Amino acid sequence: MRLKLGCLLLLALAVMGCWDFEEVDRRAFATTIGIDPAAGGKVRLTVQVPILTGGRGGAVGGGESGFYTLIQTARTVNEAFAALQTKTGRDLVIQQNKVIVLGATAARAGVKSLIDYLRRNPKAPPQSLVFIARGKSAAAILSFVPPKEILPASELILAGQTVPKADRVYFIPLWEFVQKLVHQSKDPYAPLIGVDRREKCFVFSGMAVFAGDRLAGTLDEEESQAFGLLANLMKAGALTFTTAGRRITLRNVKGRTRIAVREEDGRPSFHFKTVVYAALGEDTAGRTGLTPADYRRLEEEATQALRPRLEAVVKKLQNWEADVIDCGETLRAYHQRLWVRVKSSWRKVYRQALTTVEVKVHLARDGSLR
């Protein structure tokens, strides 16, 4: 019996083919994907593929750029991806995709229809970072050849993993983007990516916020910082404010915001309590010998400077109906009854809700000067 089974096993092995065997150098890894709208309701898919030079054991790249781009217009993203197979001799695979760039125009029209392929395909990595192309099409971003950077995708990934970047740009992986998109009480955000032609580099500047699946508006860098504080995203920021003719920068800023919900006439009002932890990074007046009283004054000045910024951003987000700061989520999680009541008209409720902001700054140290 055992012999028979062994034979069967061998037989099975013998009749098997290698359906999924494809050598690594026979695969073209799509490392960055850009999605733009095209005429006639179609989508234009741009894909970056690293170039393998023939050199044995050599470093990646070696030519002028380490990658090439393929562009295809089709009715769906999947169709475009499949059609791209005709443009490369290798097997174009999505498994190693690191970055997704959505064109701003496409994002404004709604992203849900664009990312279904990336959500549905189990091979598409959920870790890929989502970016919105600032002002331009995703294709324009992807076809930009940075002179020094060999492979944009890996550079972008590295940027996403660098903690000090969580200052005015907050990277978001696809799974989290989708999670916020699907979650009824949340809205997604994504960093904006642009190209500086003169400096020849990518620029991450500001954040795109969504209302539902549509791009609602963009925040500039300072607004993004306020957003980062409100959404608990800022990990190591640098905040600058002006007070009494001096310019002061706080470094290593960490923010922590709690939302207190109050109910008035069956409508929620939100009170943001933001606590900021920071160190003194720069003081243009160059003052030394800070006393506890000076610390208190500095903290007070920082509070005065920050609160209006935060308030403005909250108002802006409310006007856009973009709930990227977890108002709805707080309501849903901790005020169930109220949430059930306002759930159906949540966007309107959010827009009209009374919001107040309270800021408290903790200055812990001031560097190597007394």
Partner 1 sequence: MAWEPRSGEKIPQETPVFITALKERLGDPPDLVFTAAGEGITVAYLASLVEASELAGGVLDPLRRMGEGTEKFSWRNLLQSLPAREIRGRENLAEAVEDLLSGYALVHLAGSGTVYSFVVSRPFRWPPTQPQIERTIRGSRLSFPEALAEAVRLVRTRLRDASLRVEGFFLGRRTRTAIALFYLVDVADPGLVEEIRRRLSRIEIDGIVDSGYLEQLITDNRRSLFPLTQSTERPDKGVAAILEGRAAILVDGSPTAILVPATINELYQSSDDYYYGLFHGSFLRFFRVLGNLLAVALPGLYVALLGVNPELLPIKFALVVAQSRAGVALPLILEILLMEIIIEIFREGSLRLPTTIGQTIGVAAGVVLGIAGVEAGIVSSATLVVVVITAIASYSGPNYEVGITWRILRFGMLFAAIFLGLFGLAVFGLVILTHAANQNSFGVSYLAPWAPMRPRALFDTITRRPLAQNRRAGTYHPAEEDRLRLKEREEE
Partner 2 sequence: MTDGRNHGSLAPEAIFALLFLALSGMEFLAAPYGAVRILGPSSYWAVVVGMILAMPVLVLARAWRRRFPGKNLRAVATAALGRPLGVIGNLLFLAVYLIWLVVAVRDAGDLVLAYLLDRTPLWVVVGFFLLGMLYVVANGLSTIFRLAEFVLIPALALRLLMSLVSLQGMEISHLFPAFSAPLLAYLRAGLDLFRTFLPLAALFLLGDLLPGPEGLFRNASLATGSATAILFLDALGAVGVFGADLAGELAWPGLAAIHHVSFPYLLVEQLGLLFLIVWLVTFFVAASFYLHLVAAGLTDAFPRLPYSWTTVGLALLVAFGGLILPNAAVVRTIFDGLRRFAMLPAAGYPFLVYFVAVLRGLGGRKDAA
Q: Interface residues with partner 2 (CB under 8 A)?
A: 1-2, 5-6, 8-9, 12, 16, 19-20, 122-123, 125-127, 157, 161, 173, 175-176, 178-179, 182-184, 186, 326, 329-330, 332-334, 336
Sign of CA dihedral 286, 290, 294, 298: positive
Interface with partner 1 includes 78 (CB under 8 A)? no
DSSP secondary structure string for all residues of 284-337: TT------HHHHHHHHHHHHHHHHHHHHHHHHHHHHHT--TTSHHHHHHHH-HH
Residue 212 CA to its chain's centroid (Å):
16
Interface with partner 1 includes 86 (CB under 8 A)? no
Torsion angle (degrees, nearest 10) of CA 205, 210, 216, 220? -20
Residue 155 tokens read as 């550079």
Residues 22-51 that bind partner 1 (CB under 8 A): 22-25, 27, 29, 31, 50
Contact by Cβ (8 Å): 203, 193: yes
Residue 199 CA to its chain's centroid (Å):
23
Interface with partner 1 includes 142 (CB under 8 A)? no
Q: Which residues contact 269 (CB under 8 A, 6 or more apart)?
A: 261, 262, 263, 353, 354, 355, 356
357 binds, among partner 1, partner 2, none (CB under 5 to 8 A by kind): none
Of 49 and 310, which CB lies nearer to partner 1 in the complex structure? 49
Count of residues near partner 1 by CB under 8 A: 36
Residue 50's φ and ψ, nearest 5 degrees, are: -65, 145
Of 127 and 319, which CB lies nearer to partner 2 in the complex structure? 127
Interface with partner 1 includes 89 (CB under 8 A)? no
Q: What is the nearest approach in angstroms of partner 1 to the Cβ of residue 74?
A: 24
Radius of gyration of the chain (CA): 25
Interface with partner 1 includes 307 (CB under 8 A)? no
Ramachandran sector of residue 275 (left: φ over 0; alpha: ψ -120 to 50; beta: rest): beta
Residues 239-298 that bind partner 1 (CB under 8 A): none
Residue 109 tokens read as 């029209």
Of 31 and 72, which CB lies nearer to partner 1 in the complex structure? 31
53 binds, among partner 1, partner 2, none (CB under 5 to 8 A by kind): partner 1
Among 201, 215, 192, CA closest to 146? 201
Amino acid identity of residue 167, one-letter, is D
Among 157, 145, 158, 148, CA closest to 67? 145
98 binds, among partner 2, partner 1, none (CB under 5 to 8 A by kind): partner 1
| Other Cβ atoms within 10 Å of 365 Cβ, number | 11
182 binds, among partner 2, partner 1, none (CB under 5 to 8 A by kind): partner 2
Residues 152-191 that bind partner 1 (CB under 8 A): 153-154, 157
* Single residue of 78, 96, 269, 356 touching partner 1 by CB under 8 A: 96
| Other Cβ atoms within 10 Å of 207 Cβ, number | 27
60 binds, among partner 2, partner 1, none (CB under 5 to 8 A by kind): partner 1
Question: Using CB under 8 A, which of the segments 89-97, 107-115, 206-214, 327-335 binds partner 1?
Answer: 89-97
Q: How many CA atoms lie within 13 A of 110 on its CB side?
A: 5
Interface with partner 1 includes 21 (CB under 8 A)? yes
Interface with partner 1 includes 196 (CB under 8 A)? no
Of 149 and 176, which CB lies nearer to partner 2 in the complex structure? 176
* Single residue of 8, 58, 304, 362 touching partner 1 by CB under 8 A: 58
* Single residue of 9, 260, 333, 369 touching partner 1 by CB under 8 A: 9
* Single residue of 8, 11, 53, 200 touching partner 1 by CB under 8 A: 53
Q: Which residues bind partner 1 (CB under 8 A)?
A: 2-3, 9, 13, 16-18, 20-25, 27, 29, 31, 50, 52-60, 93, 95-96, 98, 123, 125, 151, 153-154, 157
